[in-house]
Amino acid sequence: MNQMTSICRFAFLLALLCAGQSNGFSASKPLELKWNELQSMIVGQRVELVLANGIDVRGEAVAVREDTLVMDVRKASGGSGYAKGSATIPRGSIGLIRLDRKRGSWGRTMGTVVGVLTGLVLGGYTAAHTNSAGAGIPVFLGIASGFSIAGYYTGKELDRRITLIKIVP
């Protein structure tokens, strides 16, 4: 059973390493763009705006006009005055834009494959060392399913790219 404990520790540490990496990407320096350069970058993308008064507004950027940003608001922090639906946000009130993009699917594919293989190996090993088939089958299915799902979501985070944008005059 000592070998199984070390395998589980390794898998747990590997999962923590992957989860910690996605947080490191979001701490980058903001990209500085002029207002007229913003159109091609964010229109049609999911964005989160941090307004000058500290309010967060999330949704899809629809259009960048001369002095406003039109967006389809999906969520706004309490008391913001922005309800779900179409909203225009004045240029001067935007402090920071957080652009959330997905690039490809290699992370999801690789994460799922690694998760399935790890789940099959660990689940098979654990099920083989149980006393009965009645206990071994659910243990195998639970471990294999859990690692497969964890691999998919870890890969999904690896596919995610977050860009911080600051508007300069």
71-129 pLDDT, tens digit per residue, is 888 887 766 677 788 888 888 888 888 888 777 788 888 988 999 999 899 888 888 88
Enter the pTM of the model.
Answer: 0.61
Going by C-alpha positions, the residue among 63, 60, 94 that lies closest to residue 166 is 94
Over residues 37-84, the pLDDT tens digits come to 888 888 888 888 888 888 888 888 888 888 888 888 888 776 667 778
Residue 166: count of CB within 10 angstroms of its CB: 13
Residue entry with tokens 């006009």: 65
Say if residues 118 and 147 touch (Cβ distance below 8 Å).
Answer: yes
Say if residues 143 and 126 touch (Cβ distance below 8 Å).
Answer: yes
Domain coordinates of the chain in residue numbers? 12-24+104-161, 43-102
DSSP summary character for residue 131? S
C-alpha–C-alpha distance, residues 44 and 60, integer Å: 6
C-alpha–C-alpha distance, residues 82 and 48, integer Å: 13
Q: Mutual orientation of helices 133-159 and 2-25 as an angle, nearest 10°?
A: 20
Paired tokens of 141? 């299915």
Q: Residue 20: exposed, middle, or buried by beta-carbon count in 10 A (0-12, 13-18, 19+)?
A: exposed
The mean pLDDT of 151-167, rounded to a whole number, is 86
More confident call, 96 vs 28: 96
Q: Looking at the domain 43-102, which fold is it?
A: SH3 type barrels. (2.30.30)
